[in-house]
Structure 1
Amino acid sequence: MKYTKLGNTGLDVSRLCLGCMTFGAADVGNHSWTLDLQASRPIFRKAVDSGITFFDTANSYSGGTSEQMVGVLLKEMTRREEVVLATKMYFPYETPEGVKHRRGLSRKQVLAEIDASLARLGTDYVDLLQIHRWDHDTPIEETMCALNDVVRSGRARYLGASSMYAWQFAKAQEVARRNGWTPFVSMQNHVNLLYREEEREMIPLCADQGVGLIPWSPMARGRLTRPADEATQRLQTDDVGKRLYDKTGDQDRPVIQAVQDLAAKSGAKMAQIALAWVLAKPEVTAPIIGASKIAQLEDAVGALDVALADDEIAALEAPYVTHAISGHE
C-alpha cells in the first residue's frame, strides 16, 4: 500500500479509500446488493491486511446499518487511531426501527446527524465529516457555522464536501474563511473515464486551493471493469448507476472498448486500467473503491502498481465526448 497526505493537511491516508456503501442490511434502503456482517467481514479483513487505512461511509447508506457494520468491523480488526474514518450527511433515510431522518443540512440536522452517526459507528469522533450534497434550502452560512461547531466540539477532525458545482464549493470556502470557521479540506466528486466533466472547473479549483480529491465511482459503478455487453446483478438493480450512465451508454462504449483493448495489451485487468487512470491524476489523493468480493479488492490494490504511459492515457481519453452534468443531485 502507498500513503499520502489528504490535500494540504497533515493527515496521512492510504492511496485507496474503501467505500462502504456495499456493506449494510439489504432489506433497508434501496441497495438490494449490499452484504451483511458475516459476508462483509472477510473483505474488511483483506482491506486492513492490504494496508488500507481510509474508510468512507454515510448516514444514509442502508438506513444507517452501513455505519453500524463499519463500526463493528473496524473495532474487531484495528485500533481507532490507526484508521481514517469518514462519513457523510444530507440525504434522507429511514432506520430499521422506522425512525425517519429528513434531508438537509440545517443546524438542527447537522448536530443531530453527527450524534446519530457517532452512536452507530461506536466512536467519539470521525476523522472526516462530509456534506453529501449541496442543500438548496439552507443558507450555506448556517451549514458552515454548524459544521465548524462540530469540529470545535471534537466530534470531527476535518470537513469535506461531495459533488456540487465549483461556484458552490468556492462560496462555501469563502464563507468559512470570512468568518474564521473550519473550511473543507477534501472534495468527493464524480470522476472516471466515462465522466470527466469535473476536469473543467472543480478539479482545477481544488488543485489551486490545495483541496484533496477523493473521487467516487472511479470505475463507473462497474461499467469500466467488464465489456460493455456483460451484465451483472448490480448493473441491473443499481438505480443510481442507471441514472448516471444509461443515457450515455452508446457514447461510452468506445471508452469501455479502449479500456478493454489496453487491458488485453498490457495484461492488466480492466478495473486496474480504469483505476490507474484516476490514480495518475496528480490532484487525486485517494479514489473511493467499492468491493463485494476479495478479488475486486485485490485488483484495486494491484492498480497501484500499474503505471500508464502518456500515449496510453491519451488513447483512453480520446473517445470521450462531452456529457451533461450528473451526480450533483
Structure 2
Amino acid sequence: MDYVKLGNSNLNVSRICMGCMGFGDPENGMHTWTLPEKESLGVIKNGLDSGINFFDTAIGYQNGTSEQYVGKAIREYASRDDVVVATKFLPRTEEEIKNNVSGQMHIHNFVEKSLENLGLDYIDLYIYHMWDYNTPLYDILEGLTEVIDEGKVKYIGISNCFAWQLAKANALAEAEGFHKFVSIQGHYNLIFREEEREMIPLCAADHIATTPYSSLASGRLSRIPGEDSKRLNEDFYAKLKYQNTESQDLEIIKRVDELAKNYDVSMTEVSLSWLLEKVTSPIVGATKAHHVDGAVSAVDLKLTGDDIEYLEEPYVAHDLVGVMADNKISASDNEKVWQKHTKDKI
C-alpha cells in the first residue's frame, strides 16, 4: 500500500479509502444489502491487514450503525493514531429549524452523536455531507471551527457540492479566520467524469484532496454487463445514478474488460488504476474480502498513457444525478444564494 498527505492537512492516508456504506444493521436503515456486525468487522480487519488506514462512514448510514461497527473494529484491531476516520453530518432538519437550533448547535450535536457511535475521542476528517441551503454558511463554518478548536475534530471536508461553493466557502473561512475544507468527496469515476470540468482543476490549484465516492460506479466498472449483485438489484439510488447512460457507458466498460484481460488483472484494478492517476484517495466500498484485495492490488497497477487515452476516448457528457441534480441552481441564482448563506459577510 502507498500513502499520501491528505491535501493541506497533516493526515497520512492510504491511497485506497475503504467506503463503509455497506456496513450497518440491515434491519435498521434504508438499505437491506448492508452487512451485520460480525461480517462488517471481518471486512474492516481485512482492510487494516492489507494496509488500508483510511475509512469513510457517515452518521446517516444505517442510522449510525455503520459508525458503530467502524469504531468497534478500530478499537479492537488497530492503534487509534494509525487510522484516519472520516464521517459526515447531515443538513439541519425541518424540526431543528422550527425549534431554532442554529447551525453551530446542529454541528455540536452531530459531532457528539458520531463520537458516541464510534466510541472514539476525536474524528480525523469531519465532512459536510451535502450543502445545506437552509443554513447560513457562516454558521456552518463557525460551528466546524468550534469543534476543531475543542479537539473533537482534526480537519474538515465537504461532499456533494459545486466548485463555486467550495471556493466561496474557503474564501469566507480565510476572511473570517475559520478552518478551511481540506478535501472534497464528489461523484467521480471512469464513466462519470463531470468533476473534471471545474472541481478537479480547483482542487489542483488549491491543493485540496480529492476522495471521490462511487469509484466503481456501484459495481458497473468491476464486472461485465449482465453480472448481478445484491446491491445492484436492491440499491435504488445506485440505479438512479446511471440509468440514463447505459448505452454510453457500455463502450467504456468493454474497454476496461479488454485491458483487464490484456494485463491479466481484474476490471476493478483497471478502473481504480485509472482513477488513482487523477485523485488523492478514491473511496472504494467493500462487502467481501475480494473487494478489498482488488482495490489494494490496483495501487500496484500502472496503466500507460495510451491505456488511459483508450479508456477515456468514448466518454460523453453526463447529466448531473442524485443529490447534485437536486441541488443544481442556475448561475443567476448563485449570488443570491451566496448572500443568504454568508449573512452578507463578503
Normalised TM-score (structure 1): 0.94
SS at match of 1:205: helix
Work out whether 1:15 is the aligned partner of 2:15: yes
Describe the shift of the 1:91–1:257 C-alpha distance in structure 2 as closer, same or farther (beyond 3 A): farther
SS at match of 2:175: helix
Q: What pairs with 1:1-329 in structure 2 (closer than 5 Å)?
A: 1-90=1-90, 106-281=103-278, 284-326=279-321, 327-328=323-324, 329=326
For 1:293, the aligned partner's letter is K
RMSD across aligned C-alpha pairs, in angstroms? 1.7
The percent of aligned pairs where both chains have the same amino acid is: 43
Check the 8 A contact 1:105/1:143 in 2, yes or no: no
Query: Which deviates more from structure 2 when the two are superposed, residues 193-202 or residues 223-232?
Result: 223-232
* 1:106 positional shift: 2.1
Query: Aligned partners of 1:12, 1:253: CA distance in 2, in Å?
Result: 36
Query: Aligned partners of 1:101, 1:33: CA distance in 2, in Å?
Result: 30
Query: Aligned partners of 2:102, 2:90: CA distance in 1, in Å?
Result: 6
Describe the shift of the 1:275–1:91 C-alpha distance in structure 2 as closer, same or farther (beyond 3 A): farther
Describe the shift of the 1:184–1:193 C-alpha distance in structure 2 as closer, same or farther (beyond 3 A): same
CA shift digits 1:151-197 (9 cap, x unpaired):
11111000000121111111111111100000001111111011000
For 1:280, the aligned partner's letter is E
Following TM superposition, where does structure 1 have runs of at least 4 consecutive aligned residues deviating by more than 6 angstroms? none
* 1:41 positional shift: 2.2
For 2:280, the aligned partner's letter is T
SS at match of 1:74: helix
Check the 8 A contact 2:91/2:132 in 1, yes or no: no
Check the 8 A contact 2:4/2:14 in 1, yes or no: yes
Check the 8 A contact 2:41/2:70 in 1, yes or no: no
Query: Aligned partners of 2:96, 2:65: CA distance in 1, in Å?
Result: 14
Normalised TM-score (structure 2): 0.89
CA shift digits 1:266-322 (9 cap, x unpaired):
2110011000010011xx211111111101110111101110001100110011110
For 2:86, the aligned partner's letter is A
* 1:101 positional shift: 8.6
Describe the shift of the 1:101–1:291 C-alpha distance in structure 2 as closer, same or farther (beyond 3 A): farther
SS at match of 2:221: coil
Match of 1:96 in 2: none
Query: Aligned partners of 1:266, 1:50: CA distance in 2, in Å?
Result: 22
Query: Aligned partners of 1:257, 1:163: CA distance in 2, in Å?
Result: 29
CA shift digits 1:49-108 (9 cap, x unpaired):
111111110000000000111111110001111101110011689xxxxxx999x98223
Query: Aligned partners of 1:129, 1:161: CA distance in 2, in Å?
Result: 8
Query: Aligned partners of 1:275, 1:67: CA distance in 2, in Å?
Result: 25
Alignment size in residue pairs = 320
Check the 8 A contact 2:91/2:131 in 1, yes or no: no
Describe the shift of the 1:101–1:29 C-alpha distance in structure 2 as closer, same or farther (beyond 3 A): farther
Describe the shift of the 1:116–1:304 C-alpha distance in structure 2 as closer, same or farther (beyond 3 A): same
Query: Aligned partners of 1:105, 1:234: CA distance in 2, in Å?
Result: 37
Unaligned runs of 5+ in 1: 94-99
Query: Aligned partners of 1:75, 1:10: CA distance in 2, in Å?
Result: 22
